[in-house]
Amino acid sequence: MRPSPVMLALLLALSPGAVAFQASAPIAHAQSGTDAAVAQSETDALAAQNGPLQSGADGNVTNDTTGVMTLGTAPTRTAFDRPSLALGSSLATDYDGFQTQLGVNTLDQQLSAAGSDEEQRRILNRYQYRIDNRIISLEAREGQATQSFVNGTLSKSEYLRTLGQIDLAAAETRQQINALEERTDEANFGFDARSMEAKLASLEGPVRNHVGTVVDGSDASTRIYVEAGDNGVILSMIDDGQYVREVSRTDNRNPGETGSMSFEEAENEIIGPQFPWVMDIDNINGGEQRQYSSLSVLRFIYFHQHGQFTAYLDTSTEQIYRTIQRKHLAEEDSVPPGPGVVESSTDLRLAVNRTYAGGPLRVRLTNETGAPVESEITVDGEPVGRTSDNGVLWTLGPAEQFTVGATHDGRSVNVTTTPVDPR
């Protein structure tokens, strides 16, 4: 059995149930601009055998980055959307904030008027009960919205807005949890704030948060990929030079059961076999582990050459039920692009590095001399952005066969290709 990176690293105590580790310095991977054409049939075969495919500067297919979690089966519905400001959503968010503040003020008044510690504990218990109910309500709301999106009765825009609203409501609920925690010491009221916050993890995420900030008018919109089915939800986006992906697998989580597993067992038996690259000691640059015993949950965070990988593991099902990934798309620590397909029918040369559905798709446009060309890029006719001064644009890859197009000075070039299999 391969030793765990944590066992090879220096353990630092952060807080009860949490440890951090610092691994050896990562090896930097310089990013080359070379694009190599790879036969699609060959790459598809390798994808099925070896998992997430990437291609280096020499065109060889490798697994030189973290893998990704999928829904396990073909998704029922996939879509792209750009969330927008919604007045109704903004008003609902403002109402949530008002209710949170009102609840805390009321709590303080009740605690001040309480005649004994026992009465204070009853007040705190009622407040905790309301928080628990709020979390259950948000979970039910997401489940209903996901099912409605899957069966086609909820539009992609409405679904994303709902997820954004739930994320903002979860943030409000965290404030309630913090308020309760701050008021428990004097009354000697036992309260596991960290476990309650962990319950919110599946309702939150960087993509959901972005949707929420767009919906309430505090952020600009970006293109988002959404994939949903009976087993869960996948969301991804490109934000500020990073590829961001969050996955929730409802079939891998059973909160009604209990289980026990050490950090080392979880890494060696579950995380390592599924995500071998991120578990390689040469790739890790530190991390954090936290245990939520009352929930039978372990959380792992790894910092690596290309970004950050977070996994939540249910020790009763012994499965990973949630992952969040951030991958750099610029500078020398960028994730390597996938296998390339090139079209140069004119004096323009369009190179498209294939990726999995919703993954980071690299597009590069050059002229006959190899000089970069700035141009608007379309995917299946939809404008997705403009190549930068180095001729490169990172966007999101569709789930089915697609066509990437570019036009410059009246000349057009197109590449039609298919996604790779992330498994």
Q: What is the pLDDT of residues 123-171, one digit of tens each?
A: 899 888 888 988 999 999 999 999 999 999 999 999 999 999 899 889 8
Q: Phi and psi (nearest 5°) for 200?
A: -80, -10
Buried (b) or exposed (e) across 4-43, using 16+ Cβ within 10 A? bbbeebeeeeeeeeebbbebeebeebebeeebbebeeeeb
Per residue in 73-95, pLDDT tens? 887 899 999 988 765 555 465 55
Q: What would the two tokens of residue 396 be?
A: 């999101």
What are the extents of the domains in the chain?
Answer: 5-26+65-78+223-328, 31-61+336-423, 83-215
The per-residue pLDDT of the chain, averaged, comes to 82
List residues bridging with 379 in a β-sheet: 382, 404
Among 51-60, 198-207, 312-321, the minimum mean pLDDT is found in 51-60
pLDDT at 61: 34
Ramachandran bin of 328, using left for φ above 0, alpha for ψ from -120 to 50, beta for the remaining angles: beta
Look up residue 371 and give its amino acid.
Answer: A
Among 183-197, 273-287, 299-313, 403-417, the minimum mean pLDDT is found in 183-197
Neighbours of 206 (CB within 10 A): 18
Neighbours of 182 (CB within 10 A): 11
Among 56-60, 174-178, 390-394, the minimum mean pLDDT is found in 56-60
Task: Give the span between the Cα atoms of 339 and 65, in whole angstroms.
Answer: 13
Task: Name the strand (E) or helix (H) holding 49.
Answer: helix 40-50
Residue of 345 and 337 predicted with greater confidence: 337
What is the CATH code of the structural domain delimited by 31-61+336-423? 2.60.40.10
Q: How far is CA 185 from the centre of its chain?
A: 35
Task: Give the span between the Cα atoms of 316 and 254, in whole angstroms.
Answer: 7
Per residue in 101-126, pLDDT tens? 668 888 888 888 888 888 988 989 98
Give the mean model confidence (pLDDT) for residues 233-240: 96
- Checking if the pLDDT of 11 tops 80, the result is no
Give the total residue count for the chain.
Answer: 423
